[in-house]
Amino acid sequence: MEYPSLDTAKAGAIRFNTDSSQLEIYDGNQWTGILATSGEQLTGGTRGFFAGGNSTNIDFINVDTTGDAQDFGNLTSSMWINKCSASRTRGLIHGERPATTNIDFITIANAGTNASDFGDLTVAREDPAGVSNGTRAVLCGGAAVAPGNTIDYVTIAQTGNAVDFGDLYQKVIHQASGESKIRGVLANGYTPSTSNVIQYITISTLGNSADFGDSTSGGYGASGTSNAVTMVFNTGYNGTSHNTTMNSLTISTLGNSVFFGDLTRTMYAPGTCSSRIRGVFAGDYPSSSDVINYVQFPSLGDAIDFGDLVSGRGHWGGSSNGHGGL
C-alpha cells in the first residue's frame, strides 16, 4: 500500500502497515505500532499503576476499561510527594518527602508482588517529575529545600544509580510531565511562585531543557498524562484556589497549551497514567479523594468518572506500560 509520506503526514495520523499487519500512529517524527497481529495492544496502556501518597500501597487499573483500582503490592517504604515513570515492563517510583535519593521499581505485569530497590538519585529530593521513552527515564526538577534544576536519568532495564543529564532552565517542583518517544515536556509548577512555563527535553540527548511555551494559567500540584501525540495536564493550584482546569498541547510542536476541559472535581497532584487513547487522573491532596477520572485523546472535553482507588490518596505518582513514550 502507499503510506502518507513523512513530508505530508501530520501528528496524530493513523495508518495500517500491510507489511507488519499493524495499525500505526505518527507522532510528528516517526510511525509506531498500536496493535499487534494478535490484537494485543503494544502501546495501548494495558496496565496503569499509582504508588505512594504517604503510604506503601500500590494500586493498579486496566487503563482502557473502567472500574475500581485493585491492590498491587507495597513499596519498600512509605513514600509521599513522589513521582513515577515506566517502560513496557518496569515501573519506577522516585523521590519523596523528606527528601531522599530512593528509587523503587516494580514489574508492572506482576500484581501481587512488592517493589524492590532500584538505586539512588544523584541528588536527594522530593517530587522529581519523570518522562520516559521506554528505555531511558529522565527525572526532572524537584526539591530538597527549595525548587531545583537537577535533571538525571536511568536506564530502566538496568538497576543502578542515576546519572547527570543536564539542568532545567527554570527551577521547579510540583510540575506536570508528559512525553513521546522523542520528547519530554514539563508544565507549570512552583518556582517558588506559581509558574505557567512549559519546558522540554529531548530524552535521548543529554543536555539542558529549553522553552516550549506557556500554559493558559499558572499553577502547581499539576500532573500530566500523554499518548504519542498529545499531553493533557491539570493546571493545579493557582495560588488562590484549586480548580478543575485541564490544558493540552501537541508534544512535537512548540507553542502554548490550550484549554482542554474540566476534571469532575478539583485534584491537586493526582497520580496519572495513560494509553494511546486514554489519560487517567487519580486522587487528590489534601482531601485524600479516591476518585479516578479519565479523558479521551485527543478529543477536547470534560473528564469522565473511571472508578475509585483502593483507598483515597494524593500527592503521589503514577504511570503505565503504555504511556506516551512507549
- pTM comes to 0.87
Residue found under cell 513522589? 82
Which pLDDT value is given to residue 86?
A: 97
For residue 137, what are the contacts with CB-CB under 8 A and spacing of at least 6? Answer: 85, 86, 87, 92, 130, 131, 153, 154, 156
Output the pLDDT for position 315.
96
Domains of the chain by residue range: 1-40, 48-320
> CATH classification of 48-320 is 3.40.50.720, yes or no?
no
What are the helix and strand counts (H, E) for the chain?
0, 27
Complete DSSP assignment for 79-113: E-S-EEEE-SSEEEEE--TTTEEEEEEEETT-TT-
pLDDT for res 7? 52
Task: With beta carbons less than 8 A apart as the criterion, state whether 271 and 285 touch.
Answer: no
Q: What is the pLDDT of residue 15?
A: 74
Write down the pLDDT at residue 13: 72
d(CA 177, CA 173): 11
Q: Tell the burial category of 92 from Cβ atoms under 10 Å away from its Cβ (0-12, 13-18, 19+).
A: buried
Which triple of cell numbers denotes residue 63?
487503563
In angstroms, the CA 167 to CA 108 distance is 30
Low-confidence ranges of the chain (pLDDT < 70): 1-8, 11-12, 16-24, 27-45
First to last CA, the chain: 26
**48-51 and 317-320 beta bridge pairing:** antiparallel
CB 78 within 8 A of CB 55: yes
